[in-house]
Structure 1
Amino acid sequence: MKIDGEVTTGLGKAAYFLSQEFYTKEFQKNLGFVPYPGTLNVIVGDDHLDEINRIKDECENLIKPDEGFGAVKYIKAKLNDKVDGAIVFPAKTTHEENYLEFIAEDKLRDKLNIVDDDVVTLEF
């Protein structure tokens, strides 16, 4: 699946969660990188929600949390045909369904000079 979406500022909560050792160890083991402590938030059109929800429901890649934290499903993805990473689906989230959270090794806003309202492409 390849979709376009618009970059938006998140709530800043991912930095805390992505700095937890049990998450970083699992991402390193399963994706080959320790993610930058933050996500690139991308809003996608509602016309993609059925397919995204199907992918999320069928996803078997799961990080089981330590006590007090939520599980995270993830699927490998690529941003703008350049950056390997993953889309994460936290069990506990305050985002709307049409928000996708992309993780990668680098701070993508700096590396790719991305700002809010830029359109990016996600492939997964």
Structure 2
Amino acid sequence: MCKKTFKAKVFSGKNEGEFFVSLYSKNIKNKLGFIPYPGTLNAKLISDVEEFNQCLLKSKMIIIDPPNIPNTKFGRVYAYPILIFNSLNSYILRPEITIYNKEVIEIISDKKLRDLLNINDGSIIEINILIE
């Protein structure tokens, strides 16, 4: 189990990813070792949502603490290592506080994935969850 390639359809989010990734950027660099591109690639799983989420729970979860900003409260973010198209190292982010359900995934990398992969809204991406 979990050796499966999952497919998801790319879509535009609410344009909040840039703000939050930038806000968490220092903590992401400390935990993941790179400065993330300011934004997320959003995709909706096409099928096997339950299996995907079970596999995600079996992978290495990295906890990213929220930034310490006076008079604000942000939640932790959980990062999970993945491969896109079986080659590009990236991470799925699962914030404690989110507007999305479990069929939506938010992906970060140190590069702008849309440009690097030449994808747009409606493109299908292939994701492999890395299990140690």
State the TM bucket, normalised to the shorter chain. 0.7 to 0.9
Distance 2:96 2:54 in 1: 13
Gaps of 5+ in 2: none
Q: Deviations over 1:51-107 (max 9, x none)?
A: 415634986421121342111001111111232110000111111220011100111
Larger CA deviation: 60-69 vs 90-99: 60-69
Tell me the matched-pair count.
122
The yes-or-no answer on 1:9 pairing with 2:12 is yes
Q: CA deviation at 1:42?
A: 1.1
Which residue of 2 is the match for residue 42 of structure 1? 43
Counterpart secondary structure, 2:26: helix
Counterpart secondary structure, 1:96: coil
Preserved contact between residue 43 and residue 104 of structure 2 (Cα < 8 Å): yes
Q: RMSD in angstroms over aligned alpha carbons?
A: 2.1
- Change in Cα spacing, 1:92 to 1:45, as seen in structure 2 (3 Å) is same
Which of 75, 81, 90 is 2:86 aligned to?
Answer: 81
Gaps of 5+ in 1: none
Greater than 6 Å deviation, 4+ residue runs = none
Larger CA deviation: 92-101 vs 42-51: 42-51
Q: TM-score, normalised by structure 2?
A: 0.81
Q: TM-score, normalised by structure 1?
A: 0.85
Q: CA deviation at 1:7?
A: 0.6
Preserved contact between residue 43 and residue 100 of structure 1 (Cα < 8 Å): yes
Give percent identity, aligned residues only: 29
- Change in Cα spacing, 1:110 to 1:58, as seen in structure 2 (3 Å) is closer
What amino acid sits opposite 1:32 in the alignment?
Answer: G
The yes-or-no answer on 1:107 pairing with 2:107 is no
Report 1:47-58 matches (<5 A): 47-52=48-53, 55-56=56-57
- Change in Cα spacing, 1:60 to 1:29, as seen in structure 2 (3 Å) is same
Preserved contact between residue 6 and residue 48 of structure 2 (Cα < 8 Å): no
The yes-or-no answer on 1:91 pairing with 2:96 is yes
